[in-house]
Structure 1
Amino acid sequence: MFNQDKFGLLRKILKMLGLKDEAIDDIIGRIAELLFANEEEKAPTAPRFPYRLRDDFLSPAEQSFYLVLCQAVETRAAVCPKVNLADLFYVSSKDYGEFRAYTNKIDRKHVDFILCAPGSMRPLVGIELDDRSHRRTDRQERDEFVDNVFAAAGLPLVRIPVQRGYSLAELRSLLQAYLPAGEGQNAPSQPSDAAPTAVEAPVCPRCGSAMVLRTSRSGPNKGQHFWGCSNYPRCRGIVKVPV
């Protein structure tokens, strides 16, 4: 039987072979399932349910932002935290091997928040709350992958840096383009040079690919939002978000 120490040794070996953490988690998860199934076959016992309720469904940073986000969208959108990517997207492929491979890429990932249309619960926009961990190389690779998944499916994704406090007015302004008009509120008119809406993301002026809404993490424009090419870093096309 595999105990935690042996799983740790296996993880180190797989890491030395160059596998990424997500692939390692998937391999160990499958091995654990097989071992658990074999144990049940050898010694049938009453079903076990070793589950407990987490104390931290939302982290303090997520909880703080959630409260401001609910105020910002009011009744114009339903706020859904921690949504699994596999619940949002599906793989369009008739090849089972390809279908399974690409499904495995998203079934262990989630987005921090999804805003949905009231009533229909149709996803309108995703929100990622980026803390310092997103500066790591592995997290940046993960973020780029998630950005590309959202872009390929045509669902906007907004990245917001974690802050000690959030401006309600700024958050409302940022999300305005993605939300339906509220009660007693007319939908804003959109001239041809207005900020892109959820279905009108610009096309990259360099390569013609779809663009993803991103947030500058450093430099004089830190914290400001811009449209970046979904093919980054192969293409570094940028379109400014009108103020």
Structure 2
Amino acid sequence: MELLVIVGVFFLLCAVFFIRTVSKKKAVDKAVDVDKDDSYAFEAIGALFTAAERSFYGVLTQSLKDNYVLLGKVRVADIIKPQGNLNRSEWQTAFNQISRKHIDFVICDKDNLSILCAIELNDSSHNKADRAQRDAFLSRALSSANIPFVEFTAKRSYVIRDIQNELHQFLAQQSSQTPSADTKICPCCSSQLVERVSKRGKNQGNTFWGCSAYPKCRYVEES
């Protein structure tokens, strides 16, 4: 009698295991079928930029020299990441804060595509509380990664010289320019050193020399 009970329990466990295995396989097959299902219809959004963004993109293009690359609609998580000293939970929380956010424009060095500055074009929607909070977060996040964050107000027309003047201090770190006699060279990677201003910490407001190849090279020295 005891043997029959043991055998019965064994077959019951086998049946449960079989049912669960079949159920999982059906779920996987269903997920695969969704990928193969052509009943889902999509349509193109159209232009990558809004009319205001397209207008400003043209102005930015005219404002930049040939030694820069202008990118648009860049995911924030593609230009910054949580610091490596965070534990797994903290890292994931920090990543979630940036994973679904985008920057309107990013200016890069043409030679190595290092990021020189991030640009946001603010229309009237940025006056709303949630948008203002988002912009403030982006400013803090990019500043912590030493990436300049420049905000422009959307207008009907722009003056190219004004745009150039606003961006000059950030684009002066262009590493592909021909060094002059008084150019400072990074002792680590031989790129040019550019003068920058500390935006946080006890040295906030003080100037220092930083490598133009940042973030690939993080060499700094006192100004």
TM-score, scaled relative to structure 1: 0.59
1:127–1:158 CA contact under 8 A, matched in 2: yes
Which structure 2 residues correspond to residues 58-137 of structure 1 after superposition, within 5 A? 58-93=49-84, 94-137=86-129
Change in Cα spacing, 1:187 to 1:78, as seen in structure 2 (3 Å) is farther
The alignment status of 1:172 with 2:168, answered yes or no, reads no
Taking the aligned partners of 2:182 and 2:176, their CA distance within structure 1 comes to 11
User: CA offset at residue 185 of structure 1?
Assistant: 9.9
Which structure 2 residues correspond to residues 16-31 of structure 1 after superposition, within 5 A? none
The alignment status of 1:139 with 2:131, answered yes or no, reads yes
User: CA offset at residue 77 of structure 1?
Assistant: 1.0
Per the alignment, residue 237 of structure 1 pairs with: none
Taking the aligned partners of 2:67 and 2:128, their CA distance within structure 1 comes to 35
One-letter amino acid of the structure 2 residue matched with residue 110 of structure 1: H
Per the alignment, residue 41 of structure 1 pairs with: 30
Change in Cα spacing, 1:42 to 1:84, as seen in structure 2 (3 Å) is closer
Give aligned-pair identity as a percent: 25
TM-score, scaled relative to structure 2: 0.64
User: CA offset at residue 182 of structure 1?
Assistant: 7.9
Taking the aligned partners of 1:114 and 1:178, their CA distance within structure 2 comes to 12
2:77–2:99 CA contact under 8 A, matched in 1: yes
After superposition, the C-alpha distances for 1:201-235 in whole angstroms (9 at most, x for unaligned) are 3446xx74758xxxxxxxxxxxxxxxxxxxxxxxx
Structure 1 residue ranges, 4+ long, deviating more than 2 angstroms after superposition:
37-46, 48-53, 180-189, 201-204, 207-211
Q: Which runs of 5+ in 1 are unaligned?
A: 1-36, 190-196, 212-243
1:75–1:182 CA contact under 8 A, matched in 2: no
1:201 pairs, out of 177, 189, 197, with 197
2:59–2:158 CA contact under 8 A, matched in 1: yes
Q: CA RMSD in A?
A: 3.4
User: CA offset at residue 122 of structure 1?
Assistant: 0.2
Taking the aligned partners of 2:128 and 2:203, their CA distance within structure 1 comes to 26
One-letter amino acid of the structure 2 residue matched with residue 201 of structure 1: V
1:126–1:158 CA contact under 8 A, matched in 2: yes
- Between Structure 1 and Structure 2, how many residues are aligned? 167
